[in-house]
C-alpha cells in the first residue's frame, strides 16, 4: 500500500461540480492499494499518518502531528500510485488492486485514521474527482508498506 501525505492549508474534493469533502488545516492523503494489501498495511499507515510530525511548533520546527495541531484529514483513493512506467509511454496499472478489494481497504484506512483521533473525510471511490490541494510548505511525503503475507520476521 502506498500513501502520499501532503500538509495542506485546505483541501477539497468535488464530483460533478458538487463539493463532497472539504477540510481546513491538515493532511491530504492519497491512498493506492496494491495486490496483497490488507487491513494490516492500512492500519500501520493510518497510525503512521496520525503521528507523523510534519507541522511546525512554536519554534518553527516540524515537531507536531496532525493530531497535535487539531488538524483534519481528507483521504482520496489513488490507484495511479501503482503505475508501472518501465515500458513504453503509457502507464500500466496492473499492480493496482481490483476495485472490489481496494474500495473497502481505502474506507478501512480512513476509519482507522479517524479512530486515531483525526477527523477524517473521504473522497468518492471510483468517481472522477476534482481534487483541490492547497499544499503548505510544500510538504509531500511518500509512505509505503509492503504486504506482510508470506514474509518471515
pLDDT digits over 40-65, tens only? 999 999 999 999 999 999 999 999 99
Which of 6, 55, 62, 78 is catalytic? The answer is 78
- Beta partners for residue 21, in sequence order: 13
Beta-strand (E) ranges in the chain?
2-15, 18-23, 26-32, 55-56, 62-64, 72-77, 120-122, 130-144
Instruction: Name which of 126, 113, 100, 96 is nearest 33 in CA terms.
Output: 96
**Active-site residue 80, yes or no?**
yes
Which of 6, 55, 79, 121 is catalytic? The answer is 79
Instruction: Report the pLDDT averaged over residues 85-107.
Output: 96
For helices 39-51 and 99-115, give the axis angle rounded to 10 degrees.
Answer: 40
Q: Do the strands 62-64 and 130-144 form a parallel or antiparallel pair, or are they unpaired?
A: unpaired
pTM of the model: 0.94
Instruction: Report the pLDDT averaged over residues 94-107.
Output: 97
| Integer Cα distance of 5 and 50 in angstroms | 11
**Active-site residue 62, yes or no?**
no
Predicted pLDDT at 77: 97
Predicted pLDDT at 152: 42
Instruction: Report the pLDDT averaged over residues 127-140.
Output: 96
Q: Do the strands 26-32 and 55-56 form a parallel or antiparallel pair, or are they unpaired?
A: unpaired
| Integer Cα distance of 59 and 79 in angstroms | 38
Predicted pLDDT at 140: 97
Instruction: Name which of 65, 64, 61, 63 is nearest 46 in CA terms.
Output: 65
Q: Does domain 2-138 have CATH number 3.50.80.10?
A: yes
Instruction: Report the pLDDT averaged over residues 113-119.
Output: 98
Domains in the chain: boundaries? 2-138
Percent of the chain surpassing pLDDT 90:
95
In whole angstroms, how far apart are CA 27 and each of 6, 48, 80?
5, 12, 19
Amino acid at each position: 500500500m502506498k500513501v502520499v501525505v501532503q500538509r495542506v492549508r485546505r483541501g477539497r474534493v468535488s464530483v460533478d461540480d458538487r463539493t463532497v469533502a472539504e477540510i481546513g488545516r491538515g493532511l491530504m492523503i492519497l491512498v493506492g492499494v496494491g495486490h496483497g494489501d490488507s487491513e494490516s498495511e492500512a492500519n500501520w499507515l493510518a497510525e503512521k499518518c496520525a503521528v507523523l510530525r510534519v507541522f511546525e511548533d512554536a519554534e518553527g520546527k516540524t515537531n507536531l502531528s496532525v493530531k497535535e495541531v487539531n488538524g483534519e484529514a481528507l483521504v482520496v483513493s489513488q490507484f495511479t500510485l501503482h503505475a508501472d512506467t518501465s515500458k513504453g509511454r503509457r502507464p500500466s496499472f496492473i499492480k493496482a488492486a481490483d476495485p472490489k478489494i481496494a474500495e473497502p481497504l481505502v474506507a478501512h484506512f480512513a476509519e482507522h485514521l479517524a479512530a486515531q483521533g483525526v477527523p477524517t473525510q473521504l473522497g468518492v471511490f471510483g468517481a472522477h474527482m476534482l481534487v483541490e490541494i492547497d499544499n503548505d510548505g510544500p510538504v509531500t511525503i511518500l509512505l509505503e508498506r509492503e504486504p506482510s503475507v508470506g514474509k518471515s520476521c
